[in-house]
Structures are given as C-alpha cells and as structure tokens.
Structure 1
Amino acid sequence: MEGIRRRRELAGEKYGEAAADYSGAFSDCNSDHSGEFTAESNLVRRLRLSTISDELLCRLISNLRSESSDARRAAAMELRLLAKHSMENRVEIAKAGAIGPLISIISDPEQQLQEHGVTAILNLSLCDENKDSIVAAGGIKALVTALSSGTSTAKENAACALLRLAQVEENKILIGRSGAISPLVSLLERGSLRGKKDAATALYTLCSTKENKVRAVEAGIMKSLVEFMADLESGMVDKAAYVVNLLVDVAKGRTALVEEDGIPVLVELLETGSQRQMEAAISALARVCEQSAAHCAMVAREGAIPPLVAFSQSGGLRSKQKAEVLIRLLRQTREEN
C-alpha cells in the first residue's frame, strides 16, 4: 500500500492536478451534413431566405401528424432545413410545439422520415433553450433507438444530437442510463470515418462521468481505441488517445487497456506521435502506473524511459513536468524491484 500511495503522490493525485482538457481535438458535431441537399439547391436557397411565420409552422406541425407519409416526410424535411441555418428559427420552431411530433416520427419505420426527424432534432438541439424541451419530450430514448437501429445517417446525426444534449451536465447520466453507450461504441467500431469521429466525440463528452466510463469499457470500447492509436493513418489517433485518458480513471479501464495490449501502443506514441499524442500517452501511462507496480514494470520493459527523457528535455513546461513525474514513477519501481 505504501508503494501505491507513493506512486499516486508522484503522479499528482494528492496535490490535485487537474486532468488535461483535450476537448479542442473534437469537432462540435454541430452540422446537418447528410448530403442529400446541395448548398445550391432551390429548396435550400428558398428556406435560407424564408421568414418563418406562425401560419407556416402551424401547417408543418399539422402535416407531421398527417396520415400521409409523403406529407409527414415533406414537413419534417422542411422543418429540418429551416432549423439548420437560423438560431431564431430554432427558437420559433420549438415554441410552436414541433419538438414532440418530430420526436414521434423518429420511431417511424420509413428510413427517410426517420432521418429527417433525427436531423431536425439535431438542428434544434444546437439552441441551448431547446435542450430541456427535447429531453422532456422523450428525445433521449428516441435518439438512442435511432442510434441503435437507424440508417448510417440517422445513427451519425443521433450521435451528434446526443452529444449536444450531453453538454447539459445532468443529461450525461440520463443518456448513459438510456442505453446510448453501447450503440455509440458500435458506431465507433463499424461506422464511416465521419461516424467514428461523431461517436468518439459523443463518448468523450459522456465519459466525463464515472458510470459512463464503466459502461464504455464493459461495451468493449478499448479494443477499438487501441487499434486506432496503433494506426497512424486512421485519422482517429488523437481522439482515441483522449478517450483512453478518460477511461483509465477507472480500474476496469486500466485493466482493459493492459488486456488489449495498449501499453506498447502508448509507448510507441511516445516515440512516433505528434506533440499532442505524446502528451496524451504520458497522461494515460502515468494514471496506469500510479496504481500498479506491475504496470510500471511493464511500461519500463517496453522502453518508455528513453523517449520520456527526450520529451522532458524538449516539451513545454507542463508536458515536461508530466514526463518527469512518469520517469520518477518508473525508476522508483525499478529500484523497488
């Protein structure tokens, strides 16, 4: 126990060092870019110039409840586009009562209608005033359903909408308990590059809470994260490393990282990664090592000390301090053994 306590003190736990903020590496996930509308289409141009009226909103919301799938589809598409470009429109659409009917059509079996519903909710969620209303109307459950069983576009835009809702702190727990973590991990594993990035961004936000970290690890996220970090051409190295940094805060995350052979990958980043990637690797390795002499020995055997020494001589002040802390952890363990 004394060894663990000393390792924690060296790693900064006892003097309250704040976790690094990597949020700048993630997109805002804030645009409707499913691609079926070109920027120059007549419809988009017309709606960008439209002055939204009570009469128009009444008609569109009424059509969302129509028995005609064509009418529902057209209304959802128009509301989606009206909400895409204008903050004022987002407010007015929500005030008119469109959120509930839009959430209802997310469960529609017609794929295009579902996509319009999901994406309209995404666009409305860009307005902070609307987030509580979306949650109150059952938006989280509907978005998780789309995330689990929708088209690729619906899944990607549902991930973005959940991210937006998760920017309200208390919603993070609600989203995790509604079953969002597992389908987000599936999107991270099997989605398009855009889908992977959207999923990583949402998971980074949601995993600031302990219970969501545990859910993500239990859903098997670590395997994909390690694979992304190992592939410098994946376009996902930074995002994967930053999510790993959150997950190693919990014991299951540290165990999963070791079991998925993540330590050699992190040490490799120390040697070949960018500045940000090296900093992320150092933070993750320090968190792993502070809890376990065996893990410290494993990191040292992988050859971490030479690149850490090199980094400590060339990085910025804060990064140099982190590298020096990790070097001391590794050397202390070596001396104890």
Structure 2
Amino acid sequence: MEIRLLAKNKPENRIKIAKAGAIKPLISLILSPDLQLQEYGVTAILNLSLCDENKEVIASSGAIKPLVRALGAGTPTAKENAACALLRLSQVEESKAAIGRSGAIPLLVSLLESGGFRAKKDASTALYSLCMVKENKIRAVKAGIMKVLVELMADFESNMVDKSAYVVSVLVAVAEARAALVEEGGVPVLVEIVEVGTQRQKEIVVVILLQVCEDSVAYRTMVAREGAIPPLVALSQSGTNRAKQKAEKLIELLRQPRSGYGAVRTSEVVA
C-alpha cells in the first residue's frame, strides 16, 4: 500500500520504484488469493503505468494476464483499476494485440455493461484504444459489444452517449460491426442523436452514419426511412465545419437513387 501511495502522489517516484525492481513483486500480488492484496497490486501497477517510461517494462514483465484475471475476478475497485491499467498499457502499440489475445475484450464488455459509472468510463476508454486493432474489433463484436453500446447511446441519462459513440465510430470500420450495429437497432438511436443530441454527439454520430451508409444501399435506405435527412440538413447549416461537410456528404448519399445499385454485400452481414 505504501508503494501504491508513493507512486500515486509523486510522479518522480514512479520511475524510481520501477527501477528499484518493484514491478515483478507487484505483479505477483495481483495473483494473490487475498482480494485486498490483489487490489493493492493492481492499483500500484496502475499508478506506475501513469509514467510513459514504465508502460513497456510493465507489459514485458508479464502484467497483462494477471491484470486480465483481476478484471474478471477482482473486487469492484480492482476491476476498475485493472481496466484503467490495461488502457495505459494499450497505449504502447505492440501491447494492443497482446491484451486482446489475453481475453480482456469480453471482460471489458461485461464491465461496460454492468459496472458503475467510473467502471463504464474506464472500460469504454480501454475498448476504444484496444479496438484500433482490427482483430480486437472482431473480438469486441463477437463479445456482444454493439448491443451494450446501442443501449448506452439510447440512454441520454447515462452520461455515456459520447464515449459509447466514440467506440462505435472505431468499430464500424469493419463490416461485422456495421451489421451488428444495424441488427441491434442502432440506426434509429443514431438518428435520434442527430435530432436531439449535443453538437459534439451529432458530429460523432454523423461520421458513424456515413461509414455505415457508404457501401450499402440497404443501410442507406434504412437511415433515410428513419427520417435522418431533415436533422442532417439542420446540422449542415449550423454545425462545425467538419460536421457540415460530413452531413452534406451523407445527405447526398441518402438522396441517391436506391434501385439498381445493389444490395448489402455478403461480407457485410457475416459476423
């Protein structure tokens, strides 16, 4: 606990503690059957990971799998801090795939669905970072992330609309995620955000809708039928420059003739 506090309160201590050889003993604590000791170990590793110089050392010392274990079976605080520590480690590009292969994605999706507000925030930010890698996008879709994200975006009281939409914006680069988004009822939710969301939310969502519609007439038709064009026209007149450009491009797509252009490609709907 003392190491944890030293690493938390004084940034200069983080490098000193790591150089003194504390990382591996702290990782061993994460594997302790004593949940309180496990929590202290996770929190100390999180605090050390706040220093960029320590991230690679922590990952290469074998922290990823113990952190994933704590993410699945630790105390609520240990789960939150494990999610945050994995986020920090994922900022090293080489660690993204390793964290995904370790089984972290389904556990982060579960935390996003059922954790407290702070846990949801940490899980969504970690998933956003991890899903920059294509293989992790696929893992997240298979873990049922889109259902959770659509529910959070639909709940304006959750304070998770922005964060959830950012994760969706990363995922929809792959066809499996676009198909899952549509299947989980995401289109009407996204159109509602364009109608009544904040300017920031509208800007994120118009980017998502554009990605969904670009290669699929079927999805375009769905978006148009939900009444997307009027709020998009309003956004094209009053949004930021980026939002205006995206809204105008999407309006142009939605107004294109929909017959004879083809249907959804098979690859777009195979999960």
**Same fold by TM-score, threshold 0.5 exceeded?**
yes
> Which secondary structure state, in structure 2, belongs to the residue aligned with residue 141 of structure 1?
helix
Task: Determine the structure 1 residue equivalent to 2:228.
Answer: 304
Asked if 1:160 is matched to 2:84, the reply is yes
Q: Deviations over 1:220-247 (max 9, x none)?
A: 0011100111111011000011111111
Task: Determine the structure 1 residue equivalent to 2:239.
Answer: 315
Asked if 1:103 is matched to 2:27, the reply is yes
Letter in structure 1 aligned against 2:228: A
Structure 2: distance between partners of 1:318 and 1:192? 33
Q: Deviations over 1:42-93 (max 9, x none)?
A: xxxxxxxxxxxxxxxxxxxxxxxxxxxxxxxxxxx11100100112211111
Task: Determine the structure 2 residue equivalent to 1:67.
Answer: none
Structure 1: distance between partners of 2:247 and 2:160? 23
Cα gap change, 1:144 to 1:333, in 2 (>3 Å): farther
Cα gap change, 1:333 to 1:183, in 2 (>3 Å): farther
Task: Determine the structure 2 residue equivalent to 1:221.
Answer: 145
Letter in structure 2 aligned against 1:163: L
Letter in structure 2 aligned against 1:99: I
Task: Determine the structure 2 residue equivalent to 1:230.
Answer: 154
Alignment of 1:8-87 (within 5 A): 77-87=1-11
Q: Deviations over 1:129-188 (max 9, x none)?
A: 111211121101110110011111000000000111111111111111111111000100
Q: Is the CA contact 1:245–1:280 (under 8 Å) kept in the aligned structure 2?
A: yes
Q: Shift of the alpha carbon at 1:333?
A: 3.8
Of the three residues 36, 41, 44, the one matched with 1:120 is 44
Structure 2: distance between partners of 1:112 and 1:266? 42
Task: Determine the structure 1 residue equivalent to 2:174.
Answer: 250
Task: Determine the structure 2 residue equivalent to 1:265.
Answer: 189
Q: Shift of the alpha carbon at 1:209?
A: 1.0
Letter in structure 1 aligned against 2:86: L
Task: Determine the structure 1 residue equivalent to 2:17.
Answer: 93
Letter in structure 2 aligned against 1:226: V
Task: Determine the structure 2 residue equivalent to 1:6.
Answer: none
- Note the residue ranges of structure 1 that are not aligned, 5 or more in a row: 1-76
Of the three residues 115, 121, 126, the one matched with 1:197 is 121
Q: Shift of the alpha carbon at 1:280?
A: 1.2
Task: Determine the structure 2 residue equivalent to 1:274.
Answer: 198
Aligned length: 261
**TM-score, reference length from structure 2:** 0.94
Letter in structure 2 aligned against 1:172: K
Q: Deviations over 1:245-289 (max 9, x none)?
A: 111110110010000000000000010000011111111111011
Of the three residues 153, 161, 165, the one matched with 1:241 is 165
Question: Which structure is higher in RCO with an 8 Å CA cutoff and minimum separation 6?
Answer: 1
Structure 1: distance between partners of 2:175 and 2:106? 19
Cα gap change, 1:119 to 1:222, in 2 (>3 Å): same
Q: Shift of the alpha carbon at 1:336?
A: 5.6
Of the three residues 274, 282, 286, the one matched with 2:210 is 286
Letter in structure 2 aligned against 1:260: E
Cα gap change, 1:183 to 1:250, in 2 (>3 Å): same
Cα gap change, 1:326 to 1:170, in 2 (>3 Å): same
Task: Determine the structure 2 residue equivalent to 1:328.
Answer: 252
Letter in structure 1 aligned against 2:121: K
Q: Shift of the alpha carbon at 1:335?
A: 6.8
